[in-house]
């Protein structure tokens, strides 16, 4: 196995002392070239980062200094081959700092996040390098390039232009300062949220405090207590702990305490308060957009997305908002009536919603979340996700116990295609722990490519499910199971990638397209064909009773007004923040709490529902820029996924081989090799309309004519 980082004879930071004992500078003999996680130390990461940054700088300098006229190979091909050592270190580090962190790793994150931002921006904004790329772009139709090479060239040209490579030197210098500062602010933001999450625990000690909590919830909270070396039961601010507690706890005072702890992350007025960070980030992003000639950051961000304009994104959100708010208000009134019927003399509050929604669901749908969890064990749901991938794409998954991992709970599978050849490795890190950031995500230790050989991907899913008690399986809610399918859809996007160039591999697609493979995959969980096979009682092995299965599926749109309102409100507030441009507008964002309140008032947000992500802990948009100005993307992609699954339904077979083959070729395997709108049309033959989404969410009964969104 080749070294993770190749030795060179160039100058920067390459003493024999640096090489000795650092696993990043060794030839690895681990299976599939997986990092030897048990031997990696924070100090090794620090040294590896320093060396890899210096090496990448030298590689870029050599490309720029090449006296030969620019060609695809000596410029774009060389760029694709550069920075590999840095990619390797960065990928490993981000798995560790997200899924199994400690103080030393958090310190490294604070140290290197601005350096990395500065480094990558310097490359993208390099005027001399852009000249070479621009020459090629102007000659693109005469260079004899294939479609994939043209797309890679276009992406480099677009990214350099959007980084300011065509601006004058002072403007480029200011952009570099902004980007570096934003990186540091984003890191600080995420670490503040993590600190607030780690600082909160609610200990439950007697039956009165446990009232209403089903057995599976009690066992999960007992496991949380053991994780922290405590007696009794512990509620944390992990979403997988908070939401079921709010759903089942009969103690209204404790529900309020947990809810307020959850929504006040990053908003406590002390050293972990994020409001000043938000104000500065919004101002800097607006300045960045202005320097690049855009009206505001939202216009800058969406110009390179499928939606193209904030108006298009907002139009979709507002269309859905009207339907969702109307449904949510009707549900609110029904729950307020239920409160009164029980003798409650109080107005429904946000910490009451899930509790009374669960009661109402039992009444109206004859559906009890606690009744279905015994049929949704984690292992069974993993099997269901794998089975779906086998039926659609011919994949098989074989457990591997010889592969290094970063935590004993991490599981690994070797993935093989229908021809028996290895596709890659899949890592599943499913359980919540104090060293892990909240939420769920997919990432890669190594991306697929063919440029440097037939490189197989190493793909990771991270979740935060409450671990079952010793000897007991982990039981999932239906939402948890949907999350598992969602993240596995992302994983398949990485595993099934089949392109030559890293630039367009796997999930390297537009933000408002990247959720299509993941959200589409959720549909198979909700099909009777899958649930009948895998929803089995964890003790008896008996399948979920048909009558219960029917109730589960009938209730899947229950409370959709609430879930849609909490999401859409977050997406619209994101657009509001990133549509600010003038000094008076930006001054209004100095107090993000007030800005949030005003924005929600304009929406006529029901007071009984909180945003899914309040600004002070809205990591999607302020912990880095992944979804800044683009949180609408989940809804945009849902328009696509609802219409895409209809393609299978129209055949009468949800595993239709021809449709699955087309989906594989045009979406999952294609990466970013095509404009997203063209990729979707290659699969479906046309663009979708929002009616498929409204029908999926139960807001309308039938779809109207298919009109482009």
The residues assigned a catalytic role are 487
Beta-strand runs (E) in 111-250: 202-204, 233-235
Q: Which residue has the tokens 């994939």?
A: 148
**Strand 422-431 vs strand 411-416: parallel, antiparallel, or unpaired?**
antiparallel
Which DSSP string do the residues of 201-218 spell out, in sequence order? -EEE-SHHHHTT--HHHH
**Strand 458-465 vs strand 422-431: parallel, antiparallel, or unpaired?**
parallel
CA atoms of 614 and 105, how far apart (whole Å): 27
Q: Which residue has the tokens 């300098």?
A: 61
- Report helix, strand or coil for 692: helix
Name 415's bridge partners: 397, 424
CA atoms of 588 and 597, how far apart (whole Å): 12
Return the structure tokens found at 165: 């490579």
Distances 71 to 122, 129, 155, 229 between C-alpha atoms, Å: 22, 12, 16, 61
Taking CB atoms within 8 Å and a gap of at least 24, the contacts of 150-154 are 151/504, 151/672, 151/673, 151/674, 152/76, 152/80, 152/501, 152/503, 152/504, 153/72, 153/76
Helices (H), 365-468: 369-372, 378-393
Distances 320 to 257, 286, 488, 566, 602 between C-alpha atoms, Å: 32, 27, 26, 12, 16
Say if CB 172 and CB 161 are below 8 A apart. no
CA nearest 374: which of 497, 581, 552, 146? 552
Return the structure tokens found at 320: 């859905």
Say if CB 153 and CB 140 are below 8 A apart. yes
Distance of CA 33 to the CA centre of its chain: 25
- Output the 3-class SS for 249-295: CCCHHHHHHHHHHHHCCCCCCCCCCCHHHHHHHHHHHHHHHHHCCCC
Say if CB 362 and CB 465 are below 8 A apart. no
Say if CB 281 and CB 622 are below 8 A apart. yes
- 578's CB contacts (< 8 A; 6+ apart) are 282, 285, 286, 296, 297, 298, 301, 621, 628, 629
Quick count: other Cβ atoms within 10 Å of Cβ 405?
22
- 353's CB contacts (< 8 A; 6+ apart) are 246, 335, 562, 608, 609
């Amino acid at each position: 196995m080749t070294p993770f980082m190749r030795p060179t004879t160039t100058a920067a930071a390459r003493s024999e002392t640096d090489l000795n004992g650092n696993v990043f500078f060794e030839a690895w003999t681990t299976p599939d070239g997986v990092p030897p996680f048990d031997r990696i130390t924070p100090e090794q990461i620090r040294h590896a980062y320093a060396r890899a940054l210096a090496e990448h700088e030298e590689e870029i300098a050599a490309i720029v200094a090449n006296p030969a006229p620019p060609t695809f190979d000596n410029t774009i091909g060389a760029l694709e081959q550069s920075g590999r050592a840095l990619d390797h270190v960065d990928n490993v580090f981000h798995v560790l700092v997200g899924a199994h962190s400690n103080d030393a790793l958090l310190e490294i994150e604070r140290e290197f996040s601005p350096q990395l931002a500065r480094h990558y921006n310097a490359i993208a904004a390099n005027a001399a390098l852009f000249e070479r790329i621009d020459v090629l772009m102007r000659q693109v139709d005469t260079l004899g390039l294939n479609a994939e090479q043209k797309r890679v060239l276009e992406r480099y040209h677009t990214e350099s232009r959007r980084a300011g490579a065509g601006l004058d030197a002072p403007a480029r210098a200011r952009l570099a300062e902004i980007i570096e500062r934003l990186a540091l602010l984003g890191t600080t933001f995420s670490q503040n949220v993590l600190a607030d999450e780690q600082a909160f625990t609610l200990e439950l000690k007697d039956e009165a405090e446990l009232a209403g909590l089903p057995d599976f919830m009690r066992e999960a909270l007992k496991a949380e207590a053991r994780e922290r070396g405590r007696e009794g039961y512990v509620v944390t601010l992990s979403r997988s702990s908070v939401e079921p507690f709010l759903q089942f706890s009969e103690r209204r005072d404790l529900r309020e305490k947990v809810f307020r702890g959850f929504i006040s992350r990053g908003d406590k007025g002390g050293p972990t308060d994020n409001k000043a960070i938000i104000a500065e980030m919004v101002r800097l992003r607006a300045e960045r957009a202005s320097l690049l000639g855009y009206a505001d950051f939202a216009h800058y961000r969406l110009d390179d997305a499928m939606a193209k304009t904030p108006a298009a994104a907002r139009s979709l959100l507002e269309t859905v908002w009207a339907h969702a708010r109307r449904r949510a208000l009707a549900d609110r009134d029904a729950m307020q009536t239920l409160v009164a019927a029980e003798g409650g003399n109080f107005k429904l509050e946000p910490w009451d919603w899930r509790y009374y929604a669960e009661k109402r669901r039992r009444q109206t749908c004859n559906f009890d979340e606690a009744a279905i969890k015994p049929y949704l064990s984690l292992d069974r749901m993993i099997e269901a996700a794998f089975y779906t991938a086998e039926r659609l794409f011919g994949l098989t998954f074989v457990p591997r116990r010889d592969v290094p991992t970063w935590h004993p709970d991490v599981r690994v599978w070797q993935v093989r295609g229908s021809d028996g050849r290895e596709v890659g490795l899949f890592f599943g890190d499913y359980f919540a722990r104090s060293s892990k950031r909240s939420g769920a995500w997919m990432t890669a230790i190594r991306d697929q490519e063919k440029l440097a050989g037939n490189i197989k991907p190493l793909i990771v899913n991270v979740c935060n499910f409450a671990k079952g008690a010793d000897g007991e399986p982990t039981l999932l809610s239906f939402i948890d199971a949907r999350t598992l399918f969602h993240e596995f859809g992302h994983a398949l996007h990485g595993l099934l990638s089949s392109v030559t160039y890293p630039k367009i591999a796997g999930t390297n697609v537009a933000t408002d397209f990247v959720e299509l493979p993941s959200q589409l995959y959720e549909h198979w969980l909700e099909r009777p064909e899958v649930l009948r096979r895998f929803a089995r009682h964890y003790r008896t092995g008996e399948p979920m009773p048909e009558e219960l299965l029917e109730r589960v599926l009938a209730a899947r749109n229950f409370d959709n007004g609430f879930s849609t309102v909490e999401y859409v409100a977050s997406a619209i507030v994101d657009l509001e923040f990133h549509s600010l441009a003038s000094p008076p507008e930006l001054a209004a964002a100095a107090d993000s709490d007030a800005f949030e309140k005003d924005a929600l008032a304009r929406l006529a947000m029901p007071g009984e529902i909180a945003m899914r992500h309040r600004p002070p802990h809205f990591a999607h948009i302020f912990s880095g820029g992944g979804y800044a100005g683009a949180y609408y993307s989940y809804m945009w992609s849902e328009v696509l996924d609802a219409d895409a699954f209809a393609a299978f339904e129209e055949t009468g077979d949800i595993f239709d081989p021809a449709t699955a083959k087309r989906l594989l070729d045009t979406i999952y395997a294609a990466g970013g090799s095509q404009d997203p709108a063209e990729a979707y049309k290659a699969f479906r033959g046309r663009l979708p309309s929002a009616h498929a989404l409204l029908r999926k969410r139960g807001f309308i009964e039938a779809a109207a004519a298919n009109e482009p969104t």
